[in-house]
Amino acid sequence: MENIIVLVEAEINPTETEEKVKTAVTNMFGNAAIEVEPSHVGNVLKAEAKTRDSLETFRNVLRRDRVRAAARKILNSKVRGNTISFCLNKQVAFVGHVSFSQETGECPLGPIKITIETENPREIIDWLAPRIA
């Protein structure tokens, strides 16, 4: 199996509870190791995983929400070298669904930022959001 690193980051604003932000992250990336660190506005949640299995929950949500074609297009547009970087709406993730967002401005509480580092990003995208025949 190929090397993969999944990094997840989300600000915990003063108006949010840490548990709800953790829930949003675990709803998408179930078994990532989560840490909370202080930041300039409050705290920041950081999670890291080193297996493709950590993306299994995200993959299942894409399938269940029937957004694989849209996800595939967005993820392909976010590939830079060996990295796929994208953002998810934190509030939508909290209720167990996927909504891609911009890094700033689109989410009042800020997004969940995801970076996937892998030797073959296109292969991961094919696995996460396969073409539908």
Q: Write out the two tokens for 95.
A: 């209720």
Q: Which long-range contacts (CB under 8 A, 24 or more apart) does 14-19 make?
A: 14/41, 14/42, 15/109, 16/109, 18/43, 18/45
User: What pLDDT is attached to residue 39?
Assistant: 84
- Tens of pLDDT, residues 88-116: 999 999 999 999 998 766 667 789 999 99
Q: How many domains does the chain have?
A: 1
Is residue 133 a part of any domain in this protein?
A: no
Is residue 112 a part of any domain in this protein?
A: yes
Is residue 113 a part of any domain in this protein?
A: yes
CATH, residue 46 = 3.30.1440.10
User: What pLDDT is attached to residue 51?
Assistant: 87
Cα–Cα distance measured from residue 66 to residue 61, given in angstroms and rounded to the nearest whole number: 8
Give the domain extent around 80. 4-128
User: What pLDDT is attached to residue 6?
Assistant: 95
Strands (E), 19-105: 33-38, 43-49, 79-80, 83-89, 100-101
Tens digits of pLDDT across the chain (133 residues) = 478 999 999 999 888 999 999 999 999 998 788 999 998 878 999 999 988 888 999 999 999 999 999 999 999 999 999 999 999 999 999 999 999 998 766 667 789 999 999 999 999 999 999 987 6
Is residue 60 a part of any domain in this protein?
A: yes
User: What pLDDT is attached to residue 1?
Assistant: 43
Is residue 90 a part of any domain in this protein?
A: yes
Is residue 30 a part of any domain in this protein?
A: yes
Is residue 81 a part of any domain in this protein?
A: yes
Is residue 96 a part of any domain in this protein?
A: yes
